[in-house]
Structure 1
Amino acid sequence: MTKLTTGEVIAKTLTANGVDTVFGIPGAHMYDFNDALAREDGMRFIHTRHEQGAAYMAYGYARSSGKPGVYTVVPGPGLLNSGAALCTAYGANTPVMCITGNIMSHLIGQGRGQLHELPDHLGTLKGLTKWADRINHPTQAGAVLHEAFVQMNSGRQRPVGIEAPWDVFGMAAEVADPTKLDAIPAPTPDPDAINAIADLVASAKNPMIMVGGGAWEATQQVQDLARLLQAPVTAHRQGKGVMPEDDDLALLPPAAWKFWPDCDLLIGIGSRLELQHFRWRWFPEGIKTVRIDIDPTEFVRLTPDAGVVADAAQGTQALIDALKDRVTPRQDRAAEYRALSDAAADALTSVQPQEGYLKVIRDVLPRDGFFVEEVSQVGFTARMCFPVYAPRQYVTCGYQDNLGFGFNTALGVKVANPDKAVISVSGDGGFMFGVQELATAVQHGINVVAIVFNNSAYGNVRRDQQTVYENRLLGADLENPDFVALAQSFGVKGIKASTPDQLRTALKDALALDAPVVIEVPVERGSDASPWPFVHPAAPE
């Protein structure tokens, strides 16, 4: 037992669990915790220019590394400013921990208008996370932190929140020494459920494997299953790279769509099956679905013909073992799938200028580099045509599709992976949500290359208003700064590239600098071809 303050218990528990970086902005409610962090050996604190930036950086850190992303903000407006990033972490199954405060403990619930007071602060935090709780006394800190780490890391990983009243952070008591906290083991795959899946898989002639972020740690098993069945593997956003997308059995979504009419079994592994059920919205007659997923609620939301609640790696390996006596060697179908991929790639060249620029980025970005998309014309197109070679290398916001997450998230990715290339692609609208974090990049040496495609509009909004609402434009066109000059005012290298060839040169130079860089790519307003025919393809006749 050691006498520690609540702030010290939190800081030391973070260290004991491998956390060496915290993002945030200090504030009065948090001073005693901030000071505990400052006294914690080996702890790096990266302070940002907006609470949203801190939370997005924690998200990027966690998503790209698999380690918890931790951030701290003041209660009330600080928490609310970070809320979009918590939504992103929730939607993209990412272990993010928010540590925040509250007003003085004896004033909670009285509605007296205290600094940063919300009507139900803890309730707000709970509404944005998988789990949240309040530490009311230092003797409770260990138990609350234990549950936070268990909830964050067990089953379907999602964000958690911890708050403590202003006066409690500095309160001291005799407590147990902070320790490493383990997650709850995944359930053992049920043999009967595995056998039911195996029966359907063995009888299928044209199965397709759909992977999501839940399959990140099951790359070998997914690849083994695909080769056993000679089945194509596809992914929408989260699962990109589980099967290297230059593998003959990997199909990017437009190529997978061409295979879909002949598919008789969909095998979902760690995936919500968003691509098929929300994007494609058409199913071949008689097709069946099997699923391997750690989250039991998924089987209520979308009930398969057979399924098992299991860790993706364990469940897929159990399925492979069950198929050994059911499946004989199958004919190599690589040439068939290559033809589908080649045809889809040719069709996607119609999406200009996005496809041309993305091809350049893929050529220049090292194979082990990170690509952080954004809700933009280039970002939407990337989901369809940007190949990825390993899990976590393609960083997306999941189903939240929240404008402005990209650049800030990329900074967190780079902090977690300082020796890897990190490229962020944004539209002009999204980039301006977090442009102030250029100062953070300079101050902390976070060497992200940010490519800003400037079409002077919220491009998707503008296209929809033109095509669906008879060209009645409302809030769609944007007046922008000179992004090169803006970058330079922060002390960041700014480059303008007006063609794919110019982007190739600029990107090579930027990566060689190993410094923060902004590359502006001007795009004529309204000239972007729509990627949506590939994202939401029309049903076959």
Structure 2
Amino acid sequence: MTTGGTPQQLPETPTVASIAVAGLRSLGVDTLFCLPGVQNDDFFDALVDARDIRPLVTRHEQGAAYMALGAAQVTARPAALCVVPGPGMLNAAAGLTSAYWGNARVLALVGAVPSGLRGRGTGILHDLPDPAAVLRQLTKHTGYVGRGVDAVGVWQQAIDALTSGVPRPVAVEVPVDVWRQPADGVLEAPRATTPVIDTDQIEQAARVLGQARRPLIMVGGGAQDASEPVRRLAEMLEAPVFARHMGLGVMDTRHRLHAYLTVGRELWPTSDVVLGIGTRMEFPNVEWGVDPGQTIVQVNIDADELDRHSTGTVGVHGDAAETCRLLIEALGRHNRRRDDRTDEIAELRSQHFERIAYLEPQLSYLRAIRSVMPDDG
């Protein structure tokens, strides 16, 4: 599945710097979290003319990276940062690591030493033996613009990768002597792709879920765009839905099948089939353990997560929302009748609130905040 838009309009004589600005614009970035430095001066000269992108200067590169992470998670859209090479990049590494495991689409624009000195170990300002080796451990894709003629291709790969597949950071390095070089070609809008879902996997998962006696659903950050199909799936299965931090908000806490984490823990041992949607499920797999009589069904856009813990998972590789809609359709052929679980879940939720009632005044603060926030706040 691919989505695209209109190509980015560039200056009459585009440069590597103007291509970078166009790349940010194509992602919908309106704020660039940054700490400028001499290696990126020519880029910021071009950014000054981009009145629709506001540079927000931080005191430390770590702040820029974490602010980009927060922006990406809050808006569910790509966010970006810009730092100098060497210590600047290393200072941003903590935020990029958090973005990597926090499933955030963060673009890191990183300056580089002069192109002719790359990898030569001259010790020029902010030099590192191999900065790309560091970035490759913090991102799912790292590009390097070594010449002006490479700019459009490198940026196209970067924005396509950022908007496709598993939400994770992407980095682009640009040497100090390359920013002003002329750039050829047209930068297209991001071409976002998702995995093609295997209908046999859908059918297998639907059969397992359809015959479950006491199904349970765990959701993670990968299900944030799948609230409606998750709710419909839960109602078809009479399956309580619980989450840890990244999955909070997928299921409305007022829904009769919503289960807090402690409730999910209580339900786990008696659930014969557990469906994980957009979650690594490392907490229940590692901390709670999987009973031999349990079956785990995993829906994840990251194929590596389908059976990471070797529990014999029934896996479906695909986008959470699209996969859930296909499962709903297939369940109509396999689903058994189950008793309504409203009262059971309500009782467990009541016990949960009794257990945490001593957490005052924090609970009162939370209720006060919640009372003035919108439903999607």
Shared fold (TM-score, shorter chain, > 0.5): yes
RMSD over equivalenced CA pairs, Å: 1.8
What residue number does 1:297 align with? 304
Aligned-pair CA distance for 1:189? 2.1
Aligned-pair CA distance for 1:330? 3.4
What are the equivalent positions in structure 2 for 1:436-475 lying under 5 Å apart? Answer: none
Give me the whole-angstrom Cα distance separating, in 1, the residues matched to 2:334 and 2:186.
Answer: 53
**Stretch deviating more after TM superposition (338-347 or 10-19):** 10-19
8 Å CA contact retained: 2:156, 2:187: no
Secondary structure of 2:180's counterpart equals: coil
Secondary structure of 1:41's counterpart equals: coil
1:475-494 CA-partner distances (Å, limit 9, x unpaired)? xxxxxxxxxxxxxxxxxxxx
Secondary structure of 2:346's counterpart equals: helix
Which of 3, 10, 13 pairs up with 1:3?
13
In the alignment, residue 86 of structure 1 is paired with which amino acid?
L
In the alignment, residue 222 of structure 2 is paired with which amino acid?
G
In the alignment, residue 269 of structure 2 is paired with which amino acid?
P
Any unmatched runs of 5+ in structure 2? 1-9
Give me the whole-angstrom Cα distance separating, in 1, the residues matched to 2:122 and 2:157.
Answer: 31
Secondary structure of 2:236's counterpart equals: helix
Confirm whether residue 18 of structure 1 aligns to residue 28 of structure 2.
yes
In the alignment, residue 318 of structure 1 is paired with which amino acid?
L
Secondary structure of 1:147's counterpart equals: helix
In the alignment, residue 99 of structure 2 is paired with which amino acid?
A
Give me the whole-angstrom Cα distance separating, in 1, the residues matched to 2:76 and 2:349.
Answer: 31
Give me the whole-angstrom Cα distance separating, in 1, the residues matched to 2:186 and 2:334.
Answer: 53
Confirm whether residue 263 of structure 1 aligns to residue 271 of structure 2.
yes
Confirm whether residue 225 of structure 1 aligns to residue 233 of structure 2.
yes
Confirm whether residue 151 of structure 1 aligns to residue 155 of structure 2.
no
1:426-454 CA-partner distances (Å, limit 9, x unpaired)? xxxxxxxxxxxxxxxxxxxxxxxxxxxxx
Name the count of aligned residue pairs.
Answer: 366
Confirm whether residue 180 of structure 1 aligns to residue 189 of structure 2.
yes
Aligned-pair CA distance for 1:195? 1.4
Secondary structure of 1:40's counterpart equals: coil
What are the equivalent positions in structure 2 for 1:331-342 lying under 5 Å apart? Answer: 331-342=339-350
Which of 104, 118, 131 pairs up with 1:94?
104
Which of 55, 73, 89 pairs up with 1:63?
73
Give me the whole-angstrom Cα distance separating, in 2, the residues matched to 1:65 and 1:16.
Answer: 16
Distance verdict in 2 for CA 1:315–1:340, change over 3 Å: same
Which of 78, 84, 88 pairs up with 1:74?
84
Give me the whole-angstrom Cα distance separating, in 2, the residues matched to 1:193 and 1:204.
Answer: 17
Aligned-pair CA distance for 1:366? 4.1
Aligned-pair CA distance for 1:130? 1.0
Give me the whole-angstrom Cα distance separating, in 2, the residues matched to 1:352 and 1:18.
Answer: 42
8 Å CA contact retained: 2:274, 2:295: yes
1:186-209 CA-partner distances (Å, limit 9, x unpaired)? 233212111111121111110100
What are the equivalent positions in structure 2 for 1:165-204 lying under 5 Å apart? Answer: 165-173=175-183, 175-184=184-193, 186-204=194-212
What residue number does 1:286 align with? 293
Aligned-pair CA distance for 1:362? 3.5
Percent same amino acid among aligned pairs?
Answer: 38
8 Å CA contact retained: 1:52, 1:81: yes
8 Å CA contact retained: 1:262, 1:284: no
Give me the whole-angstrom Cα distance separating, in 1, the residues matched to 2:34 and 2:57.
Answer: 5
In the alignment, residue 341 of structure 1 is paired with which amino acid?
R
What are the equivalent positions in structure 2 for 1:397-436 lying under 5 Å apart? Answer: none
Secondary structure of 1:118's counterpart equals: coil
Secondary structure of 2:315's counterpart equals: strand
What residue number does 1:237 align with? 245
In the alignment, residue 182 of structure 1 is paired with which amino acid?
R
Secondary structure of 1:342's counterpart equals: helix
In the alignment, residue 3 of structure 1 is paired with which amino acid?
T
8 Å CA contact retained: 1:264, 1:288: yes
Relative to the length of structure 2, the TM-score reads: 0.92
What are the equivalent positions in structure 2 for 1:480-491 lying under 5 Å apart? Answer: none
Aligned-pair CA distance for 1:367? 3.1
